[in-house]
């Protein structure tokens, strides 16, 4: 097995260990010692792959966030009809799918606020998602002329808070809150929708 591969494996093991700790005991439990022990590597070796502790947490989030993006892209691509309603529903449900798969991410991001690095990364990611969705909706003609990217950002952030609320006590998400949250976001964006955005167009 090539050297390179072994490294990648180890990084994965480290991230898995960190994720398990976050999931089971919260972010403060993610000490270098605990991660190293969980991953079966010496503490000092963490520093071969990560500059410091924060970078581990960041990498953990990045990994999950990448999955998020893929899931959203895939689910949007599969929509037969495009409208504000279907896009919002598909996007938010895509998030939920990943939250289900990546419970450490739920703890790290939706629950206990995290360190600045993660905070910044996730906020930036929300912004990028908002921008992407805005472009997508604009190009598909779902929005009216006065809609701006700010509307998209607000929608994403507010959706994020819906998730926070829904996952607060239930690691699988409170379905009633999720349903109502989807309505909320959809209702908000439909006030900025074009006729097509309201009625839907074939993809």
Q: By the criterion CB under 7 A, which residues form the site for DNA? A: 3-4, 6-7, 10, 30-34, 41-48, 52-54
Is residue 184 part of the contact set for a second copy (CB under 8 A)?
yes
Is residue 187 part of the contact set for a second copy (CB under 8 A)?
yes
d(CA 5, CA 163): 36
Stretch that binds a second copy, among 2-10, 35-43, 75-83, 187-195 (CB under 8 A): 187-195
Structure tokens that stand for 84 in this block: 């504000």
Residue with tokens 């976001």: 185
Helix extents (H) in 26-148: 32-39, 43-49, 53-77, 84-101, 103-105, 116-139
DSSP letter (8 states) at residue 168: S
7 binds, among DNA, a second copy, none (CB under 5 to 8 A by kind): DNA
d(CA 10, CA 35): 12
Q: Angle of helix 3-25 relative to helix 53-77, nearest 10 degrees?
A: 90
Is residue 113 part of the contact set for a second copy (CB under 8 A)?
yes
CB contact set of 35 (below 8 Å; sequence gap of 6+): 14, 17, 18, 21, 46, 56
Give whichever of 108 and 189 is closer to DNA, judged by the CB atom: 108
Residues 123-182 that bind a second copy (CB under 8 A): 123, 150-151, 153-154, 157-158, 160-162, 164-165, 168, 176-177, 180-181
Is residue 42 part of the contact set for a second copy (CB under 8 A)?
no
Closest separation in Å from C-beta 105 to DNA? 20
Give whichever of 31 and 119 is closer to DNA, judged by the CB atom: 31
Closest separation in Å from C-beta 3 to DNA? 5
């Amino acid at each position: 097995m090539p050297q390179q591969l072994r490294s990648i494996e180890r990084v994965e093991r480290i991230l898995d260990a960190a994720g398990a700790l976050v999931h089971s005991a919260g972010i403060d439990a993610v000490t270098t010692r605990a991660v190293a022990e969980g991953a079966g590597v010496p503490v000092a070796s963490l520093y071969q792959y990560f500059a410091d502790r924060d970078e581990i947490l960041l990498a953990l989030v990045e990994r999950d966030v990448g999955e998020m993006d893929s899931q959203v892209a895939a689910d949007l691509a599969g929509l037969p009809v495009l409208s504000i309603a279907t896009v919002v529903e598909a996007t938010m449900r895509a998030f939920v799918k990943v939250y289900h798969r990546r419970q450490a991410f739920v703890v790290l991001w939706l629950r206990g606020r995290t360190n600045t690095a993660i905070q910044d990364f996730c906020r930036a990611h929300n912004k990028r998602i908002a921008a992407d969705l805005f472009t997508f909706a604009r190009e598909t003609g779902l929005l009216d002329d006065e809609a701006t990217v700010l509307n998209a950002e607000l929608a994403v952030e507010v959706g994020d808070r819906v998730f926070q609320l829904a996952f607060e006590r239930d690691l699988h998400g409170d379905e009633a809150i999720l349903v109502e949250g989807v309505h909320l976001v959809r209702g908000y964006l439909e006030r900025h929708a074009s006729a097509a955005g309201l009625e839907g167009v074939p993809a």
